Structure 1
Amino acid sequence: MPWRLPARSRFRLASVALTLPLALAACAEAQFAAQTAKAIQQPSAKTQGYYKVGDPYEIKGVWYYPTVDYSYTETGIASWYGPGFHGKLTANGEIYDENDLTAAHRTLPMPSLVRVTNLENGRALVVRVNDRGPFAHGRIIDLSRRSAQLLGIEQRGTAKVKVDILPVESQRLAEAAKQGTLIATAEAQQPQPGPSVAASPVASVRAEALPPPSSTQVARAPNPAPPPAVSRPPASAVAILANSGTQSNTGQLETVPVEQTRIYIQAGAFSDQNNAMRLSNTLRRLAPSQISETRVDGQTFYRVRLGPVASVTDADALLEQVIGSGYPGARVVVD
């Protein structure tokens, strides 16, 4: 049976919510620091942004390590952001537009292209990563408002998702950004032409009329057939956006089969099974705990997971308990 937050704990959460406005005034500076990855200044003109990976950084006591990872794939919970940041600078210097198909990610290069699949309704959409975040516990990607609308996430606020980077397209986007241009998402996804092949050399031939042999009828040669028409390849429908961060806000939704998934809290992963067992025994007081084995790059790891839990709300509550028990690296996973 999925783990649910006890009723007494739900009452405590409600009590905390009543006192939240007072607490917010006292911790304004801490909240300001947590939002530094999304710039708050209002720019005076549009800008295209730039390529950025960035150095390791710390938010609310948690360290994040940006890296170039073109094999990235992850499941978890997505959220969305918009009104409070619309028109302001993103982490790589673009102008954030909540109506563009973009997203914030904590570690992927900017810009990158990722496919976000809503595991609850099967909708999939390609979005461009151009910002840092989310920094709320238990979230793996922060979508623009338009992206959330198309994926069916806006009303609920969160959803179980799978995020996969598009390696070839992301590298193409990154190279263009390094050269000072921003390629629209649709163009980055277009197949590139193959290498050009030089034409074979043609020998010169000189024509010379010869007299026909005697008593031989000569038939008139038929007119040569006209050469086949060669159609020119159409010009790209999507131009390189040299001075603008805008792109189509309609996108191209895909639909994939929906499979049953469950939410867990992953407290840690260890190469030593004994360490995994110790952590599992320690956290069993919070919720049902289990150890699962997985292999990454040929190495075996033992994952400690709590759950499954019944909902995103329950997952958030359990995650805070695990983090509060001294395990800040715990995260929400969907499997």
Structure 2
Amino acid sequence: MPSKMRIRTNRGVVFLAVSSVTLALTGCGTPEPKVSAKGSKEYFAESEYGVKASPRISHLRSNLPRGGGRYQVGKPYKVKGKWYKPAEDPDYKKVGGASWYGDAFHGRLTANGEVYDMMHLTAAHPTMPLPSYARVTNLKNGSSVIVRVNDRGPFANDRIIDLSKRAAQLLDYQHAGVAKVQVEYVGPAPLHGQDESYLLASYRPGGQAPDPSDGLPTGVMIAMNGPTPTAAVGASAVAFSSQPGLQPATSVDGSIKLPAVGPIIPDRPEIGLVLNKGERLVPALSYASDRVRLAAEAFDTIVEPDMTAEDVARSWKQGNNIAASETVMPETGYIVAGSWHSRNEADRQMRALSSYGRVALEQSQQDGMTWYSLSLYPDGRMDLDGMLEAAWDAGASDALVVRN
């Protein structure tokens, strides 16, 4: 009988069958399989960019904390001579290159104070509000998924978004490194970060259209509801044709529910899924257990279709929260502290941050206005994560780490 691994979701537990070879390989009296080291397939190359990441605040391979960051849009900022203007644009839709980042940044702080986990469906975008949701579609194969945008970047080669390793796997470009994608803004995301079920259920393989039998009109956009994205959030509500009056509810304390937002949730991925004879899927909310379970099974099939015994053993260990031994990258990245119109304010920030590293002030013109941009470079007194938090505490609320 195969054993089972348990993966926690927001509303329940998803069971993934694991071959008995897993236990045989990891059981008592059996030597642990030796797995040859494989180079990372992610696009980031230290030798090419000359920029490395900040130190990890966690070496765990799984169960990293979710959410816990802050909501921010931010002021215009300048990186490598290019200006970026963060804004909430409900009509944002853009086609361009997507890269992905994995081991090099796993366990490090994101621009809004969350912890990056390469196995969550997250992304970095240069201008979207943090955190927010965006649907990303691989234009080569039509696959799409909603991701949680909680970081800034990319800042190289005119790419428009960086996806986590897991998201790149779902869109099937982790081996290519870069893909041509379409990115659509969906809406603000809750700060708590407990949205894996919502994101996983949004996966649409190969351009699969929503199933008309689910009772929802094709192409419907679910409206946002709630006073502010910074409030605490809970479960979502979606209006079905059989429930014409149902709308996302606002609690008495003014907090909003998890936004029922964006393109309608697909009924199910069809890859690798076999239903028992006579079994029928019925309309369900995006958090319904059947939909989440099937999406998780599809993801498991897509990510590792040809797992070896060694891969299974390693995956089982990681799933049980065993930290992988890995080399911590030395840090040569830097902090973009922000840009100001006032020279006095820039000088004040410069004095405050000079206690944590080497500061550099640059004056430039943008849209007919003078800007003073401040950067902070490590000099051995503090690591990058510490410098980032120090910049936030000093009032540079838009400070971020430039990784690439």
Relative to the length of structure 1, the TM-score reads 0.44
Task: Give the number of the structure whose alpha-carbon radius of gyration is greater.
Answer: 1
